[in-house]
Amino acid sequence: MPLRRPLKSLIKLRYRGTQLAVFVVLTYALAWSSWFSISTPFVQKGGIYFRILGSWHGIPGPDLFVLLGNLSPGIAALITITLASGKTGLADLWRRSTAAHASFAPYAIACLLPIAYSYFSLVILHILGTQAAHLDSPFRHFIDLALTLPFAPLFEEIGWRGYLLPKLEKTTGDFRSSVLVGLIWGPWHAPLLLMAPHPGMALLDVLIVFCILTIGLSILFTWTFNWSRGLLLPVILLHGFHNAATSYFLSSTISAGGWMPLLILTVIVWLAATAVLIIGRMYKNGREEWRVAGP
């Protein structure tokens, strides 16, 4: 009588294509189910609140479900790694993500590059005659950066660069891997784009331009990730500073500029990505110098 195979071995994901498919499906399912729930009465009236020193503080239901959706790439990556490699895969991800083998340069680039391309986008908008931006104190944006860094940037990068990118780089060139990550990363935001105001621009046009922007960003993120030899912290910082810098410099221009701020930002980001490709320093410390985990 044949021995029964353990349940764990039955559900173990043995093939890379299956692993990638499971990761993508889980990422989209977890995020989109959270984000499309935001308009429901349960979420609109809900939230998590605590009474502190006589006052109520907390997270409203819609903000909470946006946050839950942002966590989906990391959660999906951890589930997929567990099914494919178990504790060994999780330990390897932790080792690659936390080993202190990067120079100071990737950290500096991660902090300064988003400020640079966001600021230059604002300058171009001003030259083109778009209504001047109303810049508030940057302090609030840095507070938001500090508060959100352990959540959306961290969990997104565990999925996009910690798991998906190294898997693709095993069989695909670095540039193609960047494009593929961007093509998955961009449409993933579709429900959030549906809820965000974009005056003078159809949703489909917004999604197309946003995906082009995301592919350009993916090239910059891949360059930073491989430059640091697979360390996640630089790309987590890059992600957080991108969110903070674009919010600070460009959010107030959306109502006045319509589609123009997004388009200008996309052009500037692609100029930076093209410069990275042409200069030839992209992936100088690439895959050959650090081991990628997983089968």
Least confident of 16-20, 37-41, 118-122, 284-288: 284-288
The pLDDT tens digits of the residues spanning 60-74 come to 878 889 999 999 999
Tokens of 131: 């209504």
Note the pLDDT of residue 181. 98
The domain spans of the chain are 12-289
Q: By the 8 A CB rule, do 261 and 249 touch?
A: no
Tokens of 111: 């902090």
Mean pLDDT within 137-148: 80
Q: Which residue has the tokens 């908008």?
A: 125
CB within 8 Å of 89: residues ≥ 6 apart: 81, 82, 293, 294
Q: Enumerate the H helices of 228-259 as residue ranges.
A: 232-250, 254-257
For the cut 70, the answer to whether the pLDDT of residue 289 exceeds it is no
Q: How far apart are CA 237 and CA 119, in angstroms?
A: 18
In this prediction, residues 4-29 reach a mean pLDDT of: 73
pLDDT per residue as tens digits for the range 209-248: 999 999 999 999 999 998 888 889 999 999 999 999 998 9
**Beta-ladder partners of 60:** 47
Contact in structure between 213 and 266 (CB atoms under 8 Å): yes
Residue with tokens 């189910």: 33
What is the signed CA dihedral for 117, 207, 191, 142, rounded to 10 degrees? 10
168 Cβ contact list (under 8 Å, min separation 6):
20, 176, 177, 180, 181
In this prediction the pTM is 0.87
Instruction: Determine how many CB atoms are found less than 10 A away from the CB of residue 51.
Output: 9
User: Which residues partner with 24 through β-bridges?
Assistant: none
